[in-house]
Each structure stands twice: as structure tokens, then as C-alpha cells.
Structure 1
């Protein structure tokens, strides 16, 4: 099987540098072993990853599935293209790439809306969110993924304690545009924690599998209402 080549990586970094000035071209990449282990333990088959970077975790998931199931990739188009090519070059064809542009206000939430337009209910049973790490993107991602995640499926948030101010790539002293895009409060805030604590932990429809990281969906929105008298996510946020 063909392995990753330096030339292909150079092309990815070149595209990051020339097409996207909103984020640094060099990003941290490694395998998230807790994600892979949990995916295997729960016998999941339909994997969605948001923020694939260079595909380290994705490739391990693909090796476990060994051609079975489905893999959905969400990230900038150049990252998605690279990881899809990597998986296919290793013999895995069960790949569905969903790329977004490098426009400042574009994100993987837009292709998620297309899946909702197709009424693609319950197409995921494992969602790994390791992309923006910011409230303005990933709070909406949670709501959209919730619509597409099967009951019994898992949602996994990477970097619970992460913040822009201490990022090895996005801290303002390393990447000055961060200070242009975000307030001081937002730079210092742990925004993944904000999403998990305010939206996931407060929902009666999710139970903890791994504290501050992985949660299992117990029911669709509204399905628990008659039995538990608990308000839906939307009622908790906006009243009613």
C-alpha cells in the first residue's frame, strides 16, 4: 500500500499558506488513541471527523473498519482532498469528503446543512469534533451533528481545556490575526469546554462515556420529553 509522501504533504502546506491566511500553515497532528479505542469498543461503523488535518486518527479508524462502514471527512477542501487521497491510496474507498472553502466565515457547518437538506437522518454513529475549537463554529456543529447522529451514537470533543491564548499555533504572539478575530475574553476562554459544559452536559439526552470528552446520545430531541418532562435543547436555550 502507498504511504504518505513528502511531496503530497508539501502541497497541503503550500495550499494552507497560499489559500488560507486566517490560520497558520503548520498545525499539530497526532493519533487520538482515546477516540480510536472508544470507536472500536462500541463497535461503531459510521465515522465523521470534523477537522481531519493530516488524517492520523482517520487512517487508524479506516484500518479498523478495513473497508466496512462509512467515513465522512469535514475540513478545508485541501485537507479533505489530501486525507481522502491518503485513505484511498491505502486501499480504503468507503470515504465521503465534504470540503469547505478558506473564506473566513465558511466552515464545515455549511456541508452539514446540505446533509440535512437531503434528510440524511441517523447517518453517523461516531462524530469526532477536532476542528475550529471555537464557540462560534462548534456550538452550531453540536446542534447539527445531533440531528444526524443515531440514538446510541457517540459525540467526541477533542481538547476540552484548549484555549486560543495558549495554542502552540494560534496564540496571538505567534499568529497576530487571532487578536484581530477574537476579543481578549474569547482568546483566554476554553471554548471547547464552553460547548461541552453548556450544551452537552446539560442535555438529558446525553450520558457521559469519558468525562469532558465522549458522550452517548440516548434519544432524539423531544423523545424524552413525555417520560422525563425535561425540556428540549431549544427550550432550555430560548425558553418556551
Structure 2
């Protein structure tokens, strides 16, 4: 049994990445020979162990993944999933007290600066974090590296969490509430940064872009 299949069998009841999305991501990693991976947002770590499993099955590679410090308190958490699959050597979790943007700053200013082949971006969908986060991730991607954006059509007004907690939108204007902020980054920032749009996957809300160079 492959490590990928082990993750599928063991964690079928854990959100959020399902087998079909993981299989698509695996095909992208394989096609572009991406082995040094950055992930923004892991929740309980299912997507992380899927990526770790892909790298294990490929025989090389490393994932650095970032989420808030509160992710430690989830049950099971990313460490439980890593231990269950024996993927500790493939995955390095990093925990942010407030925002993943500060962790990205730390990585950018570390010596030597890490450089990644691909970033799977699934965190902090408001414009401030998404827009700034994309700019910071760009500084960590190699020329020719890939950016996979999740939730391309997410909006605050359409979010189940924000609809249940409408007070969380009080500080935002109507147009910002309704804006598809990840798509704004796709349409506005990526061309400015010199990225080529490779493909959208509307059924799952993904967009894949490539850094020129």
C-alpha cells in the first residue's frame, strides 16, 4: 500500500482535503517535479500528511506548513496525524501566534532563505492577509515555481462562518464583504508579479499559476 493510500484509509473522516483533490495535487507535483513544498493553512493537518505522503512515495522532498498556534489544540492535531503515518521526516509544522504573514517574514529573513517549488495556499482569505501573503510567498518561490490558490470564489458574505457570526463583518464595507478576495489576488496581483495563469479548476475552486523565470 502506498503512503498516499494509507492517508486516505486512515483519515477519511477528517476535514478538509479529500482524496480527489489530493490526487489532483499529486499530479501537479509529479508533472512539475515539485519536491520543496510550502503550505499556508493546515487546520488538523490532513492536507499536510497527504502532501507528505506524496513526497514519501516519490522518495524525496520536504513540506513546510503554517497555521495558527491554536491548531495545536485540535483533536487530532497535525502531530497526531504525522505520527500515525510516520511522516515526521517529511513535514515541518510552523505555528503563528497571530498571522502566517509574520512566519513568512521570518522565513524570508532567515539565512539561508528557503526556496520552494510550489505553495499550496489555503489560509486567511480576507484581502489584507491574502494579498500580502501572496506577495510574501512570491519571495520564497523559485523562478518557475507554482502557486496553487484554494477557495478562488470565497467571499465573506458567502462564508458560512461569517453568516452565522455577522458581527465579524461589521468593520467591512459592503463591497469588501461581497468581494472574492482570493480571485482578486489571482486577477490583480499575480499578473503584476509576473505570473502566468496555468489553469483554473472551477469545480473545486482552485487556480494554478506559475512564476516566470
> TM-score, normalization: structure 1?
0.71
Give the one of 192, 198, 202 matched to 1:209: 198
1:39-61 superposed Cα distances (whole Å, 9 cap, x missing partner): 23212111111111222322221
Shift of 1:206: 1.6
Structure 2, unaligned runs of 5 or more: 1-5, 201-205
Q: Distance in 2 between matches of 1:164 and 1:118?
A: 34
Q: Would you say how many aligned residue pairs link Structure 1 and Structure 2?
A: 192
Q: Distance in 1 between matches of 2:116 and 2:83?
A: 20
Q: Distance in 1 between matches of 2:108 and 2:131?
A: 17
Larger Rg: 1
Q: 1:68 to 1:57 in 2, by over 3 A?
A: same
Say if 2:167 is the partner of 1:177: yes
1:25-77 superposed Cα distances (whole Å, 9 cap, x missing partner): xxx62333433331232121111111112223222211111163111111112
Q: Distance in 1 between matches of 2:143 and 2:128?
A: 26
**Paired residues for 1:53-132 under 5 Å:** 53-66=43-56, 68-79=60-71, 82-93=77-88, 94-101=90-97, 106-132=98-124
Q: Distance in 1 between matches of 2:153 and 2:70?
A: 28
Structure 1, unaligned runs of 5 or more: 10-27, 220-240
Q: Check conservation: 1:121, 1:147, Cα contact below 8 A.
A: no
Match of residue 188 from structure 1: 178
Q: Which structure carries more strand by proportion?
A: 2
Instruction: Give me the CA root mean square deviation.
Output: 2.5
Q: Check conservation: 2:39, 2:121, Cα contact below 8 A.
A: yes
